[in-house]
Structure 1
Amino acid sequence: MFWLAVGFVLSVTPPVIQGATNTFVWCYHDPSCNDATWPSKAPEFCNGSRQSPIDIVTKNATLNQNLTSFTFTNFDNKSALTKIENTGDTVKVTLTGNVRVKGGDLPGTYDSMQFHLHWGNGASVPGSEHTVDGKRYPMELHIVNLKSQYNGNTTQAAADSTGAAALGFFIDVAENTTGEPAAWKTLTSYLSNITLKGQSVTLSNEISLDDLLAGIDRTRYYRYLGSLTTPLCYEAVVWTVFKEPLKVSKDLIDMFANSVHIGNSTSPLLINCYRNVQAAQPVTHSSSSKINISYGLFVFISALWMR
């Protein structure tokens, strides 16, 4: 799910969507309101031509030399993560403190508003939204960013075909570890305080976005134009999906499916909270810095040899 507070009221479970021409409830768990029903209930939005998520077919992705490095501002700020909450359909962390991203051929500077996660039913039942060559990862993290010129106005961003930028990170199992990485252990420690929908807690300046994303080569990624992955599915998103997965121990991944309810304490646990893949879109990818370095070394050695 790429979650934007545009045109919907989170008042009950499932959420109630108030669109331009209709009102409907949506969910993940019930066949009467799950993602299979969204295109018919909101055809002017969720039945569009550039819907997300998608399956990224690597052999069809083309190289785009314009997909250069990003500039991440205040991703190292430990006070930027201010609040964690259970929305009833995800776990969301609010960001503040001028966290921004630009570069990477994005059409401008974007303010980072929040991040949230998608999961299946523990590490053994994967729940990422995007897939790669048909492979679904255990989890996926989305950092939601809006064009800085809109000053957080989600209505204006939703009306712009590139008004939002989503940074997607796959999460895979770190084998033979427990409670790792430390930043993810800290993050998941808050889940016991937000087991019910609507509960939230203030974060205590212990971790930063850089801590959570440690070890990932952020120069290697896929790019396509898509949509929000929850109703109303606005087609306003520049998607960046990073190639390298974050590695998190199984016990921490399992905590999401085992801790968070979709409503009150008698409601089901929140599991399989992802939209299924939509029709294919044109995908490009950045060049691999590792390949570039190797190629540069090859050229250098060849030049020496030819002397």
Structure 2
Amino acid sequence: MQSFYLISVLACLLPVALGDDPSVAWCYNEPTCNDTTWPRIATDFCNGTRQSPIDIVSASAVADSTLGAFTLAGFDDKTAFTKIENTGKTVKIELASGAMNVSGGSLPTDYSSLQFHLHWGNGSSVPGSEHTVDGKRYPMELHIVNAKTSLNGNLTEILADSEGLAALGFFIEVESGTTDQPASWKSLADHLRNITESGESVSITDISMNDLISGVDTTSYYRYLGSLTTPNCNEAVVWTVFKDTVKVSQNVIDLFSNTVRIGDSTSELVTNVFRNVQPLNGRQVSTTVASSATSLATTSLLALGLAALHGILHLG
């Protein structure tokens, strides 16, 4: 019970590490405090050597057979989400203590899920994912933040551990030919009208994490060691970025950049809330290998093709 309490406290405190630190006046939208200035205004880590996000060059990713399947406990729990909040810099969804946890996937230990949040550009026409793949930026990116369960919510220890946090990143792109789909994302976005001003939050229920990441093959992903993507940019994150994208209608994606504001009702809209990609600095990006089933299917197709070719060559 005590560990659950500490995790609940951490879920409230961790946004400080993710960017709401009042001692660092950072922003996305002003030239004096946008991401180009973070290495100067948040010097502890933002000018480090293992910063995130990065551009993932797929051809350079090293295949690693040890990167196996995840165990995503509670991801089908429709009571796991507790509230959705406009932080003035993003939209964050807090998770019930102990409701979700992540293990497997070659992570060093079990991690407790704390919250997830989103990064976006300016409507579906101006992409705003943080990570890019082969230079491509997607419209949005969803980050699930998880902390080592064994550290019992000790924020100092978590941020001092090079693998204290495990972040799961999902790209979101436009599903063509649909309106207000899928239903889970439409339901999530419907809450935005109630949190238009910074600091506002409302309860949220009846959506599961699996509802939001439907269609993603969670056995296919990239892995690297990085950092938080907002000041203080602590280099304490094991990053997993999934290859498959979440398909969401343009109408729903556009709601994020035309509904919530950075302050009160007279302030500007929250747009272009992503950090630009950072130098790799010699880090290795690993990738999962094709499953045995996929390899078998490929081999079978090749065999069939060769057999057909053999038959053609021997006709007559």
Fold shared, TM-score > 0.5 on shorter chain: yes
Taking the aligned partners of 1:154 and 1:243, their CA distance within structure 2 comes to 30
Taking the aligned partners of 2:225 and 2:43, their CA distance within structure 1 comes to 19
Aligned residue number for residue 231 of structure 1: 231
Matches for 1:197-208 after TM superposition, within 5 Å:
197-203=198-204, 205-208=205-208
Matches for 1:1-307 after TM superposition, within 5 Å:
5-6=13-14, 8=16, 15-18=20-23, 24-96=24-96, 97-203=98-204, 205-280=205-280, 281-289=283-291, 292-297=292-297
Q: Tell me, yes or no, if the aligned pair for 2:165 and 2:236 is still in contact at 8 Å.
A: yes
Q: Aligned pair in 2 of structure 1 residues 282, 17: CA closer, same or farther (>3 Å)?
A: farther
Q: Tell me, yes or no, if the aligned pair for 2:138 and 2:173 is still in contact at 8 Å.
A: yes
How much has 1:160 moved relative to structure 2? 0.3
How much has 1:153 moved relative to structure 2? 2.7
Bigger mean CA offset, 31-40 vs 151-160: 151-160
Q: Tell me, yes or no, if the aligned pair for 2:82 and 2:93 is still in contact at 8 Å.
A: yes
Give the TM-score, by structure 2 length: 0.87
Aligned alpha-carbon RMSD (Å): 2.0
**For residue 107 of structure 1, what is the amino acid of its counterpart?**
P
**For residue 58 of structure 1, what is the amino acid of its counterpart?**
S
**For residue 197 of structure 1, what is the amino acid of its counterpart?**
S
Taking the aligned partners of 2:279 and 2:102, their CA distance within structure 1 comes to 28
**For residue 265 of structure 1, what is the amino acid of its counterpart?**
S
SS in 2 for 1:244: strand
Q: Tell me, yes or no, if the aligned pair for 1:6 and 1:155 is still in contact at 8 Å.
A: no
Taking the aligned partners of 1:160 and 1:136, their CA distance within structure 2 comes to 30
Q: Aligned pair in 2 of structure 1 residues 246, 297: CA closer, same or farther (>3 Å)?
A: closer
Taking the aligned partners of 1:155 and 1:6, their CA distance within structure 2 comes to 10
Taking the aligned partners of 2:268 and 2:101, their CA distance within structure 1 comes to 36
Taking the aligned partners of 1:113 and 1:187, their CA distance within structure 2 comes to 18
Structure number with greater Rg is 2
Of Structure 1 and Structure 2, the greater helix share is in 2
SS in 1 for 2:30: coil
Taking the aligned partners of 1:120 and 1:64, their CA distance within structure 2 comes to 32
**For residue 274 of structure 2, what is the amino acid of its counterpart?**
Y
How much has 1:300 moved relative to structure 2? 7.1
SS in 2 for 1:273: coil
**For residue 164 of structure 1, what is the amino acid of its counterpart?**
L
SS in 2 for 1:45: coil
How much has 1:40 moved relative to structure 2? 1.2
Taking the aligned partners of 2:54 and 2:267, their CA distance within structure 1 comes to 30
Aligned residue number for residue 21 of structure 1: none
Q: Tell me, yes or no, if the aligned pair for 1:7 and 1:17 is still in contact at 8 Å.
A: no
Cα displacement string for residues 24-48 of structure 1 (whole angstroms, at most 9, x for unaligned residues): 3000000100010010122221000
SS in 2 for 1:175: coil
Taking the aligned partners of 2:163 and 2:221, their CA distance within structure 1 comes to 18
How much has 1:215 moved relative to structure 2? 1.0
Taking the aligned partners of 1:45 and 1:298, their CA distance within structure 2 comes to 45
How much has 1:4 moved relative to structure 2? 8.7
Taking the aligned partners of 2:146 and 2:265, their CA distance within structure 1 comes to 32
Count of residues in Structure 1 that have an aligned counterpart in Structure 2: 290
Taking the aligned partners of 1:32 and 1:15, their CA distance within structure 2 comes to 17
How much has 1:5 moved relative to structure 2? 3.9
Q: Tell me, yes or no, if the aligned pair for 1:6 and 1:158 is still in contact at 8 Å.
A: no
Q: Tell me, yes or no, if the aligned pair for 2:129 and 2:141 is still in contact at 8 Å.
A: yes
Q: Tell me, yes or no, if the aligned pair for 1:146 and 1:154 is still in contact at 8 Å.
A: no
SS in 2 for 1:294: helix
Q: Tell me, yes or no, if the aligned pair for 1:219 and 1:288 is still in contact at 8 Å.
A: no
